[in-house]
């Protein structure tokens, strides 16, 4: 979910394991020459999901952490590609934590129908996050460093010593 810590913890994880880092939200913005919010505002959330699928399917692996947007899970094809590249980590958060971290989420370019509540979105997505996760890490009540440490501890040995 947006606000679960993928971007910030992803950087910490890359530093901790001496890996590279890429945030696919930035790849989308670079390739489109506009912000995610602008895409949602002009073409709608489904257009953003289509663009995201293309960018995710083109991303390469290697020794790096890939932080995606929270809507990556809407594409089965993209998730199959990411699964083949490495370990898919799900950062689990509850609704109160999300509300606290996101503040006014209407300005965050979330890829969802305007009428869908954050609660309904979380419920819909949690099924998908669990389906694709190789490793699930609770983010609630943990600092970003603690989340990073929990990921490292949960990774298969070959990724911890890459
Ligand atoms: N474990 C955490 N504890 C407290 N705040 C966090 C934690 N993880 C992320 N945040 C905060 O939540 C916001 C969203 O984090 P971000 O890494 O951008 O999430 P995502 O990429 O999943 O949307 C940021 O303000 C970040 O500092
Ligand atoms: O979950 C979503 O619908 C989205 C999350 C965002 O990324 P973060 O999850 O990194 O905030 C970004 O991809 C876009 O605004 C859509
Ligand atoms: Mg992010």
DSSP 8-state code for residue 73: G
In this structure, is residue 94 part of a structural domain? yes
User: Which atom, in ligand 1's list, is nearest to the CA of 10?
Assistant: 17
State the alpha helices, DSSP H only, in the chain. Answer: 6-17, 24-32, 36-43, 45-58, 76-85, 95-102, 118-132, 144-154, 157-160
Total tally of structural domains belonging to the chain: 1
Is residue 100 lining ligand 1, measured as CB closer than 6 Å? no
Residue 21 burial by Cβ neighbours in a 10 Å radius (0-12, 13-18, 19+): middle
In this structure, is residue 86 part of a structural domain? yes
DSSP 8-state code for residue 31: H
In this structure, is residue 1 part of a structural domain? no
DSSP 8-state code for residue 4: S
CATH code of residue 65: 3.40.50.300
The complex scores an ipTM of 0.98
Q: How far is the CA of 9 from the centre of ligand 3 (A)?
A: 9
Residue 106 pLDDT more than 80? no
Residue 105 pLDDT more than 90? no
Q: Which domain holds residue 56?
A: 6-160
In this structure, is residue 16 part of a structural domain? yes
In this structure, is residue 101 part of a structural domain? yes
Average pLDDT over the chain reads 95
């Amino acid at each position: 979910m947006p606000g679960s810590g993928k971007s910030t913890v992803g950087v910490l994880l890359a530093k901790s394991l001496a890996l590279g880092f890429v945030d696919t939200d930035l790849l989308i913005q670079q390739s489109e020459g506009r912000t995610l919010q602008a895409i949602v505002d002009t073409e709608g959330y489904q257009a953003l999901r289509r663009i995201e699928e293309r960018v995710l399917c083109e991303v390469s692996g290697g020794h790096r952490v890939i932080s995606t947007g929270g809507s990556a899970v809407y594409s089965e094809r993209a998730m199959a590609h990411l699964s083949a590249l490495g370990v898919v980590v799900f950062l689990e958060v509850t609704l109160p934590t999300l509300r606290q971290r996101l503040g006014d989420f209407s300005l965050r370019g979330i890829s969802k129908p305007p009428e869908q509540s954050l609660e309904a979105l979380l419920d819909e997505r949690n099924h998908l996050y669990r389906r694709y996760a190789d490793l699930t890490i609770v983010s609630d009540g943990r600092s970003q460093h603690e989340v990073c440490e929990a990921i490292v501890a949960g990774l298969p040995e070959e990724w911890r010593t890459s």
